[in-house]
Amino acid sequence: MPLEETTRDLIHDYCVRDLPGDINWHTDRFSFINDDELRVRLGRAFYSARYTYKLMEATFVQGDEQHPFVKFQIMQYASIYEAVITNLLWGKFKEHPEVLQLQTHKSYKPVNALGSLTKMWFGEEELFTCVYRDSKTPKNSIPFKDKVDCAVRIGFVNGSYSEDIKRTYELRNLAHIETEANKQLDVEIEQSKHAYWRLGPFLDDVVTFLAGNGE
């Protein structure tokens, strides 16, 4: 059964009391995102992370009971960083030389350079001719840390906190319990706070950079 309505209202009022605004305010922080649906979802993720933190405060959970609150916040902030950086790289900056380079790798491509009756061998293994040329790397195959480094080189992410963003993303992957156990790592409240503290400067820097470049 849910708590009494007066108690529920008391908890909700506590959760929203110190927030800078409602969900629309949080959505407006992503005004530079052209995709309407993505912008709304980013705002909701930001708002829900902040609401969850306040709910954790209001109920004063400790120890193991605190863990799911902290993990949820880490997942939200990491997803926000990832979505914003990826959207900008393959949106506003898709033709930037750094992005073109990011999604290019060298690979071997088989070619029929010899006659059909000609074969070469290395020991007991047949050799095949090929060329070593540029290939396009699928966006989802590029490690997030490389995307962050690319954003730093372009200029819309500040290198002073880029490693913190990578760390938040790394912590998000601990959502897989087996990975968490193997690495013997855990998420803590200070890490979720750190992810939040970096988000404000991150968004401010993006807006400033885009405005300075006429975007």
Question: Where does the chain show beta strands of DSSP type E?
Answer: 104-110, 120-122, 125-127, 130-136
- Assess whether pLDDT exceeds 80 at residue 211: yes
Q: What is the pLDDT of residue 48?
A: 97
Band the pLDDT of 2: cuts 50, 70, 90.
confident
Poorest-pLDDT segment among 19-23, 44-48, 59-63, 76-80: 59-63
Beta strand pairing call for 104-110 and 120-122: unpaired
How many degrees, rounded to 5, is the angle at CA 112 between CA 108 and CA 118? Answer: 120
Q: What is the pLDDT of residue 106?
A: 66
Quote the tokens at residue 175.
């959502």
Q: For the segment 150-205, what is each residue's pLDDT rounded down to a tens digit?
A: 999 999 999 999 999 999 998 887 655 665 555 555 667 888 999 999 999 999 99
Match 């503290």 to its residue by tokens. Answer: 197
Which distant-in-sequence residues (6+ apart) come within 8 Å of 180 by Cβ?
A: 174, 186
Q: What is the pLDDT of residue 21?
A: 96
Q: For the segment 109-142, what is each residue's pLDDT rounded down to a tens digit?
A: 777 766 666 777 788 888 777 776 776 778 888 9
Q: What is the pLDDT of residue 150?
A: 96
Q: For the segment 66-98, what is each residue's pLDDT rounded down to a tens digit?
A: 888 998 999 999 999 999 999 999 999 999 999
Give the three-state DSSP class for 21: coil
Indicate the pTM of the whole model. Answer: 0.84
